[in-house]
Amino acid sequence: MKHNAATRGRLAAALISVAALAALAACSSSTSPASPASPATGTGTGTGAAPVTAPSPSASQAGTQACANGALQVKLGPSEGYAGGVNLAIDFTNTSGASCTLSGYPGVSLVSSPQAQIGLAAKRTTTAPVKLVTLAPGATGTAQLQIVDALNFPTATCSPAQATDLRVYPPNQTAAIFLPSSSKGCAQPVQVLFVGAVQSG
């Protein structure tokens, strides 16, 4: 009986040891493997594309060239008569394939021939502010012109003269464009023309 009891004791001890080893093995196998590190989300210099920043409007305008004569179509726009004269528009249309800018006043005078100016050139008005006007291809800028009827003035002080054309210099240009006109100007130094700064059409 004693022998059987000892044998049972050793068997129980062996079973406990086996159970302990099995439990330890189970714990080791149930531990999940370490997950891979997440990619860095900082602003380091990796191989990814850098963000693109859109240029500001001021930067875009800084690189835009002034409209040259060859890039402009100049013509007379709508007119509106009043007692004693007429108001009309001078249109400047960008005919090039790139944006360009206009700023300031056109030079305007009445002529009876390309070389024969009648009286005074147009006086600049301050009704419209001077500003940089950017013209996309096909866009138009406009300057308002007032022509006072020469017959409003005494003949002796005006000396009315028939014009054939308006001579127009686009802002900051030295080559003129001639637009047919049947207006009368004053050969004497009497102010009959008044022009405003170019504005967006």
Q: Tell me how far apart the alpha carbons of residues 167 and 176 are, in angstroms, rounded to a whole number.
A: 6
Residue-averaged pLDDT of the chain? 78
H or E segment and range at residue 5: helix 2-30
Domains and CATH numbers, the chain: 64-200 (2.60.40)
Structure tokens at 74: 């100049």
Q: Tell me how far apart the alpha carbons of residues 18 and 13 are, in angstroms, rounded to a whole number.
A: 9
H or E segment and range at residue 71: none
Q: Exposed, middle or buried by CB within 10 Å (0-12, 13-18, 19+), for 104?
A: middle
pTM score:
0.68
Q: pLDDT confidence of 31, banded at 50, 70, 90?
A: very low
**Each residue's pLDDT tens digit, 100-131:** 999 999 999 999 987 899 999 999 999 999 99
Q: Report which residue type is found at 17.
A: S
**Each residue's pLDDT tens digit, 134-191:** 999 999 999 999 999 999 999 999 999 999 999 999 999 999 999 999 999 999 999 9
Other CB atoms within 10 A of residue 160 CB: 18
Q: Report which residue type is found at 81.
A: G
Structure tokens at 155: 């003949």
Q: Tell me how far apart the alpha carbons of residues 119 and 109 are, in angstroms, rounded to a whole number.
A: 8
pLDDT at 114: 79
